[in-house]
Amino acid sequence: MSKIYEDGAYLENNPSWHEEDSPWKAQQIVKMIERNRLKPATICEVGCGAGEILHQLSEHYADKQYIGYEISPQAFEMCQNKSTDNVTFHLRDLLDDDDARFDLVLAIDVIEHVEDCFGFLRKLMGKGEYKIFHIPLDLSVQTVLRSSPITRARASVGHIHYFTKETALETLKDTGYEIVDHFYTCGSTELPNRGWKANLMNIPRKLAYGLHKDLAVRLLGRYSLLVLAK
């Protein structure tokens, strides 16, 4: 599956590499850092894409060092205008960099793309003291009944693993991680221009979430899980 990120196929389907969502994702990461009083001096992102999340974080925390790793030449090219004295990018796999270790490692919307996600997670553990994962929760009653949202995500954005909150957390535990904190995120309700169908579904989604978070996520979907782990 990694071939689609290296040969330009992913860029063809996603020409912005989701850069427009990065300020919102960075806000979620800041929220996790602040509520757990983390003080990382070095922050690494594996699969950093266009590099905008690290750029946004460097605007918020100017006193830290940021290092992005990306295997796609096309995404790496998009990173180049974001390099600064404290933000650098590498066109290689973090897991191949034997000496690399950081205070905080970010894997934001990554593990659902990785063919051997268990092996990836085990190898990633040694790369940092803390890790923050953002994991789409593609499995819900609504997506299973319709099926098209799952197949569409597979074709357009390369999701090959599908999670619920419970299976996402258990996958991390199975690969040796200690869960420190987690909370739901919902780009569908918080980001603009999701399309009229998504906007229409956001009405019951918000109402249900206000009544029972876990049940709303299981039934209606379109949520993700942000996890802090050690």
Q: What is the mean pLDDT of residues 88-113?
A: 96
Query: Which of the four pLDDT bands, split at 50, 70 and 90, describes residue 101?
Result: very high
**Which of 104-113, 130-139, 140-149 comes out lowest in average pLDDT?**
140-149
Architecture, CATH, for domain 3-139+158-188+223-229? 3-Layer(aba) Sandwich (3.40)
Q: Is the separation of the CB atoms in 121 and 111 below 8 Å?
A: yes
**81 vs 203 pLDDT, higher one:** 81
Distance (Å, whole) CA 67 – CA 90: 8
Query: What is the average pLDDT value for the chain, to the nearest integer?
Result: 93
Mean pLDDT of 41-52: 98
The confidence score (pLDDT) of residue 119 equals 98
**In angstroms, rounded to a whole number, what is the distance separating the alpha carbons of residues 113 and 171?**
14
**Which amino acid, residue 189?**
T
The confidence score (pLDDT) of residue 97 equals 93
Residue 62 pLDDT more than 80? yes
| Domain range list for the chain | 3-139+158-188+223-229
pTM over 0.85? The answer is yes
Pairwise CA distance, residues 44 & 48, whole Å: 9
Does residue 125 contact residue 177 with C-beta atoms inside 8 Å?
yes
Residue 193 confidence (pLDDT): 65
